[in-house]
């Protein structure tokens, strides 16, 4: 066969063709496009604090520049940052991870990707409670694993039960991944709830727990609890965290993981081939953030108080809208409202068949950008991020109410 008649090969790899685009980023992009056309869009789609990084953290970054931290950083992070993280985990979470078992990455998302890439072989199963953060399932598939979903409904406050976890475990189960407080629901597991789940997983020695605790400090009801605290799961929990949410440092891109020595060493190896170490200056700033007792950070307290006021405001406004079902989130800055009563309705021009249709309708008609729940594993819901001003939240809820009232 001549070069001219040979069948053209597919350019892109199957792994990227199979991968879904991040719905959060996609909705933010659509909102920006409408804004560029002069439309007054209120974006409640992106999970990002609308506060500025505290000055004492920025000062540490400036000092890092003046002190010439301008060279490659160690792959796993600066020794003093890892020491600070080790102390923080002991101080705040009762977890004992020496610095050599901590890997600093370019955001918590890379930390999760590293862990899944080093753990999973083709066909290994990962239990993922739904609703889940958008990237969990796609990262599992990227690592050639198979996500196994457990559905948690609004009636159970979006929390899975130990019995559900037990029923999902098979000989192929390699990991269990979840977040608490949760994105997208704001659900926060209590110590007792985590312990019951830990007891189930402890009976199956080959399973690793990946605990995403990035919203640790945005918790309205109780002290944050880590599943890694239970002796039954010693060396079988990978704790994921970072500085993005609590310290309003999303753009600084510093996350970290703490794990058994074997897993940490493997993550160091894979990160060394993909990105090497995280930003030197962002690491210097992160030391200042992590070394400080969170109870002594006025900016953190102020942010938490503002988020709680916003949560209560939005919950009360949404509960006034006929057809919506809303629970009270215990942490993070999201509300995951049930909207299935609107499926099958129309305003005379647009038919609402599912959560995606409803999100596009609310964007085009109400000019409010939200994220469809199907992106998080629950197509009966829509996620609202209330990380914006009270005035915008009131106006957004007013627009949502008006747009929904036109559906018959």
Q: Which of 261, 295, 329 is the last residue of a domain?
A: 295
Q: Which of 238, 261, 295 is the last residue of a domain?
A: 295
Q: Are residues 325 and 226 in the same domain?
A: no
Overall domain count for the chain = 2
Q: Are residues 157 and 231 in the same domain?
A: yes
Provide CB contacts within 8 A for 22, sequence distance 6+. Answer: 134, 135, 375
Domain contains 57: no
Q: Classify the phi-psi angles of 14: left when phi > 0, otherwise alpha if psi is within -120 to 50, otherwise beta.
A: alpha
**DSSP character at residue 24:** H
Q: Where are the alpha helices (DSSP H) in 42-186?
A: 55-66, 79-93, 108-119, 134-142, 162-168
pLDDT digits (tens, 9 = 90+) for 130-173: 999 999 999 999 999 999 999 999 999 999 999 999 999 999 99
* 124's tokens: 């290994």
CA 344-345-350 angle, to 5 degrees, is 105
In this structure, the strands spanning 334-338 and 381-385 are antiparallel
Domain contains 64: no
Determine the Cα–Cα distance for residues 225 and 267; give it in Å rounded to an integer.
Answer: 25
**Sheet containing 102-105: order of strands:** 102-105, 255-258, 237-242, 208-212, 173-179, 125-130, 146-151
Give Cα 62 to chain centroid, integer Å.
Answer: 29
Q: Are residues 35 and 168 in the same domain?
A: no
* 205's tokens: 């020695």
Provide CB contacts within 8 A for 305, sequence distance 6+. Answer: none
CA distances from 63 to 173, 281, 288 (A): 47, 9, 11
pLDDT value of residue 193: 98
Q: Are residues 228 and 112 in the same domain?
A: yes
pLDDT value of residue 7: 66
Give 227's Cβ-side CA count (13 Å radius): 32
Beta bridge partners of 338: 325, 381
CATH code: domain of residue 272: 3.40.640.10
Q: Are residues 238 and 304 in the same domain?
A: no
CATH code: domain of residue 35: 3.90.1150.10
Q: Are residues 242 and 290 in the same domain?
A: yes
Three-state DSSP state, 21:
coil
pLDDT value of residue 371: 95
**DSSP character at residue 325:** B
Which residue ranges in the chain fall short of pLDDT 70? Answer: 1-7
Q: Are residues 248 and 162 in the same domain?
A: yes
Q: What is the dihedral of CA 113, 118, 121, 125, to 10 degrees?
A: -50
Q: Are residues 240 and 360 in the same domain?
A: no
Provide CB contacts within 8 A for 71, sequence distance 6+. Answer: 280
On the question of a cis peptide bond just before residue 131, with omega within 30 degrees of 0, the verdict is: yes
Q: Are residues 245 and 337 in the same domain?
A: no
Domain contains 114: yes
On the question of a cis peptide bond just before residue 181, with omega within 30 degrees of 0, the verdict is: yes
pLDDT value of residue 355: 97
Instruction: Decide: residue 340, CB within 10 A, 0-12 exposed, 13-18 middle, 19+ buried.
Output: middle
What is the domain extent for residue 270? 69-295
pLDDT value of residue 3: 52
Q: Which of 295, 322, 344 is the last residue of a domain?
A: 295
Q: Are residues 334 and 262 in the same domain?
A: no
* 79's tokens: 């020794």
* 31's tokens: 């909102």
């Amino acid at each position: 066969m001549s070069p001219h008649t040979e069948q053209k090969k597919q350019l892109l790899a199957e792994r990227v063709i199979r991968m879904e685009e991040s719905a959060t980023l996609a909705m933010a992009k659509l909102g920006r496009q409408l804004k560029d056309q002069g439309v007054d869009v209120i974006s409640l789609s992106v999970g990002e604090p609308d506060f500025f990084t505290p000055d004492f953290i920025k000062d540490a970054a400036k000092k890092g520049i003046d002190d010439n931290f301008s060279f490659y950083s160690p792959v796993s992070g600066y020794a003093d940052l890892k020491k600070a993280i080790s102390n923080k985990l002991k101080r705040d979470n009762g977890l004992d991870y020496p610095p050599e078992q901590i890997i600093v990455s370019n955001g918590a998302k890379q930390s999760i990707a590293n862990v899944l890439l080093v753990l999973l072989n083709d066909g290994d199963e990962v239990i993922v409670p739904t609703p889940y953060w958008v990237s969990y399932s796609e990262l599992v598939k990227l690592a050639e694993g198979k996500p196994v979903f457990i559905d948690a409904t609004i009636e159970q406050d979006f929390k899975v039960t130990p019995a559900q976890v037990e029923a999902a475990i098979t000989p192929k189960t390699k990991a269990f991944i979840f977040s608490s407080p949760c994105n997208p629901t704001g659900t926060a597991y209590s110590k007792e709830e985590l312990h019951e789940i830990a007891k189930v997983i402890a009976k199956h020695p080959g399973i690793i727990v990946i605990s995403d605790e990035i919203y640790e400090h945005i918790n309205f009801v109780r002290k944050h609890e880590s599943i890694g605290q239970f002796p039954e799961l010693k060396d079988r929990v990978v704790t994921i965290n970072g500085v993005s949410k609590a310290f309003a440092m999303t753009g600084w891109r510093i996350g970290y993981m703490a794990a058994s020595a074997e897993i940490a060493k493997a993550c160091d190896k894979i990160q060394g081939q993909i990105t090497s170490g995280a930003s030197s200056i962002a690491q210097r700033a992160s030391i200042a953030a992590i070394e400080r007792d969170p109870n002594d950070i006025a900016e953190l307290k102020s942010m938490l108080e503002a988020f709680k006021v916003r949560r209560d405001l939005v919950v009360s406004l949404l509960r006034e809208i006929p057809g919506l079902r809303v629970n009270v989130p215990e942490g993070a800055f999201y509300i995951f409202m049930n909207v299935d009563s609107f499926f099958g309705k129309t305003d005379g021009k647009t038919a609402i068949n599912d959560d995606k249709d409803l999100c596009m309708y609310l964007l085009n008609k109400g000019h409010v950008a939200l994220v469809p729940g199907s992106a998080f594993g629950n197509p009966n819901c829509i996620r609202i991020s209330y990380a914006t001003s009270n005035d915008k939240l009131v106006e957004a809820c007013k627009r949502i109410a008006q747009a929904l009232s036109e559906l018959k």
